[in-house]
Homo-oligomer: A and B are copies of this chain.
Amino acid sequence: MLTLYFAPHTISLATHIVLEEVGADYAVKRIDFASAQQRSPEYLKINPKGRMPALVTDRGILTETPAMLVYVAQSFPHPHLGAALAPLDDPFLFAEIQSFNNYLCSHLHVAHAHRMRGYRWVDADDKHSIAAMQRKVPQSVGESFAMIEREMLKGPWVMGERYTVCDPYLFTLAQWLEADGVDPKTIPRVIGHRQRMAERATVKKAIAQELA
């Protein structure tokens, strides 16, 4: 049994979708960002970093989305489900999947975070710098999506014909691109991917569960 700690409209949706894709037996626990529950003593016992998401397993607690996505896929090694989402029998393809997911966590998601979490990298009361970071987000997030559009997204799925753990992760980050000031018309392939994802029953179910 797996338990996902999540907050709506955060990166936890990526892992939530993969739990649905593999048909996992799982529970979800909502963390309320409005009351800063992610920094409560109770939640810090689950994840000392005070961030979303966290996955409670029989062997311990996991954090960091790229690690969780692969773990969930590997834990349900049905050849048409988990094993196909993060194939371990092909080290190069697996490395390509990892490389894509690492680009999302360390470049795209980081660029996005400068819009609302600038206090991580400058003093929170430095209004000039906080605003300067926010102004740069359309460009920095836009350049990351442009790189994905041009160099990475093979189509129809990120890795081509094979649907992998990259797809729910890209989809989740692509939820926020308009709010980040990126013009969707500049990245038609990313938008097409987002639309294909939105039509999957697993994605609809995960989103409905988070917003319920």
Contact assessment for B92 and A59 in the assembled complex, using a CB-CB cutoff below 8 Å: yes
Contact assessment for B122 and A60 in the assembled complex, using a CB-CB cutoff below 8 Å: no
Contact-residue bracket for chain A: 35 or more
A80 CB within 8 Å of chain B: no
User: A40-90: which residues lie under 8 A (CB-CB) from chain B?
Assistant: 48-49, 57, 59-60, 62-68, 70-71, 74-75, 88
Interface centre among A65, A66, A123 (most CB of B within 10 A): A66
Contact assessment for B106 and A64 in the assembled complex, using a CB-CB cutoff below 8 Å: yes
CA distance A102 to B14 in the complex (A): 16
Contact assessment for B121 and A133 in the assembled complex, using a CB-CB cutoff below 8 Å: yes
Query: Nearest-CB distance from A51 to chain B (Å)?
Result: 9
In the complex, chain B residues whose CB is within 8 Å of the CB of A67: 95-96, 98-99, 102
In the complex, chain B residues whose CB is within 8 Å of the CB of A109: 106
User: A121-142: which residues lie under 8 A (CB-CB) from chain B?
Assistant: 121-123, 126, 128-129, 132-133, 135-136, 140
CA distance A55 to B182 in the complex (A): 31
A26 CB within 8 Å of chain B: no
User: A97-132: which residues lie under 8 A (CB-CB) from chain B?
Assistant: 98-99, 102-103, 105-107, 109-111, 114, 120-123, 126, 128-129, 132
A151 CB within 8 Å of chain B: yes
User: 8 A-B pairs, CB-CB below 8 angstroms?
Assistant: A62-B92, A62-B99, A64-B103, A70-B94, A102-B102, A102-B105, A114-B121, A128-B128
Residues of A within 8 A of B (CB): 48-49, 57, 59-60, 62-68, 70-71, 74-75, 88, 91-92, 94-96, 98-99, 102-103, 105-107, 109-111, 114, 120-123, 126, 128-129, 132-133, 135-136, 140, 147, 150-151
List 6 extra interface pairs beyond A48-B147, A62-B96, A121-B136, CB under 8 A: A57-B92, A64-B106, A66-B66, A67-B102, A105-B105, A114-B121
